[in-house]
Copies of this chain bind each other. A is one copy, B any other.
Amino acid sequence: MKTTLIKSLYRETEKHLNTSVQITGWIRTLRSSKAFGFIEINDGSFFKNVQIVINDTLPNFKELSKLPICSSLSIVGKLVETPGTKQPFEIQAESIEVVGLSNSDYPLQKKRHSLEYLRTIAHLRPRSNTFSAVFRVRSLVSHAIHQFFFERGFVYVHTPIITGSDCEGAGEMFRVTTLPLKDVPKNEDGTVDSSQDFFGKETNLTVSGQLNGEIFALSHRNIYTFGPTFRAENSNTRIHANEFWMIEPEMAFADLKDDMAAAEDLVKFVIKFVMEHAPEEMEFFNKFVDKTLKERLTNVLESDFGVITYTDAVEKLKNSGVDFEFPVEWGCDLQTEHEKYLSGEVFGRPVFITDYPKDIKAFYMRMNDDNKTVAAMDLLVPGVGELVGGSQREERLDMLEKRLEEMNLSKEDYWWYLELRKYGGTVHSGFGIGFERLLMFITGMENIRDVIPFPRTPKSAEF
């Protein structure tokens, strides 16, 4: 007999009703009396369980009625409707085989556990309702992203994880080495002799695939990266992890407007995809994690995203009458409180802030004609703040070289990046979106440690 997945019982109920089905899965709950009992089974294929009814006509009824939670079973029985009860149907067991017996001290008993405790048992927490949902949605959001770009002909590029240069200067990096730390080889002047390291020079973990991505935009036109990135920041906050995934599309013959349109399309596509493919999980998040979630996401889906320049945004903040913790002046970085005010109060929908002062943005962003601002954009979302950051890239060789000089960066280090402008340079744009931030936005989960299977944070690299 072929095993049927619980997902199929829920999604194709008609097909199975009043037939004998076989399912395999784990006991989530079990209660029994002398003559009969109920077992809730989850088989991993679906958020919801199915109820199994057992009674003493089963030869192993006694054994079954005392099984520890989480034991694995193979069940054959008839699927019948159960009108008027919580669940739409149940299985009347005809035979049950115990596939694996669990220990009775299973740490995930029915009572609610704190998220903090569950982090310490990251090998078991995916079995809890919350994390069953979180990690199924994580997978769906990944797929939505790949599907979005595939449908639009984008090429997926695997940019390198181990990198020979800190090109973006985006933060502290992790060193990758095979040098013996006990006895690191040194040069005569006492500095580390990195020529003896595995790659013949100093290497680190990547902070961004963007510059490599630009190479492929200038050959394959529309491309994206989606891979792990790393920051060695010693920040123990709810939104920082040292290993996280980023999505970085890059498009040739695309200006800042095209860039914003692509970001808006992507965010809406992903939300719609998840709502369609994980209605049970989204219902759960809305009920138990964040009661404003569905309203917030629906608002995003139904809005045309706003656009305002940084300069106008600063004016609005200064004239708002709000007493911000960080006062606003033209030239300053916007803080989360400002971002939330702009998207939440001023616009009430997602809004792109454009044309930031050059001094607070990276060297590769395209200089505007005013010579003060660059063609950058950040997407701010109500309740969350920044979700996307992007820009049109500087395609003019002379301007780019000037910016490198101004920022004391070495032209030699960027030789190939400059050559992209020398040979076949063209208008192009891109953006980056932090995958975990997107996930927190979509699930309502508040701590980045709870949307990553095995989070890496300062002093913690367990499992």
Contact = CB atoms under 8 A, between A and B. Distances in A.
Contacts of A25: 221, 253
A179 B177 CA distance: 11
A341 B264 CA distance: 54
A265 to B, nearest CB: 15
Contacts of A212: 453-454, 463
A203 interface: yes
A201 interface: yes
Given A127-B219, A222-B45, A461-B164, A70 B157 contact: no
Interface string A187-203: 00011100000111101
Interface string A407-431: 0000000001101101111110000
Nearest to A191: B182
Copies of this protein chain in the complex: 2
A232 B198 contact: yes
Contact of A424 (B100, B153, B179): B100
Interface in A139-186: 139, 142-143, 146, 150, 153, 155-164, 172, 174-179, 181-182, 184, 186
A458 B243 CA distance: 25
Contacts of A123: 215, 416-417, 419-420
A161 to B, nearest CB: 5
Contact of A253 (B24, B70, B107): B24
Contact of A181 (B146, B181, B203): B181
Nearest to A3: B253
A452 interface: yes
Nearest to A145: B146
Contacts of A424: 26, 70-72, 100, 102, 106, 127
Contacts of A150: 143
Interface stretch (A31-39, A79-87, A130-138, A362-370): A130-138
A108 B452 CA distance: 43
Interface string A211-244: 0100111111110000110101010000000110
B178 A177 contact: no
Interface residues of A, number: 106
A459 interface: yes
Contacts of A203: 461
Contacts of A174: 162, 176-178, 198
A289 interface: no
A380 B454 CA distance: 33
A450 interface: no
Nearest to A126: B219
A295 to B, nearest CB: 27
Contacts of A346: none
Contacts of A417: 123
A419 B222 CA distance: 46
A146 B102 CA distance: 33
A205 interface: yes
Nearest to A220: B44
B200 A190 contact: no
B126 A454 contact: no
Contacts of A5: 153, 221
Interface of A: 3, 5, 7, 24-26, 43-45, 70-72, 74, 99-100, 102-103, 106-108, 122-124, 126-127, 131-132, 135-136, 138-139, 142-143, 146, 150, 153, 155-164, 172, 174-179, 181-182, 184, 186, 190-192, 198-201, 203, 205, 212, 215-222, 227-228, 230, 232, 234, 242-243, 245, 252-253, 395, 416-417, 419-420, 422-427, 452-454, 456, 458-463
6 contacts: A26-B424, A100-B395, A131-B219, A161-B228, A162-B230, A182-B184
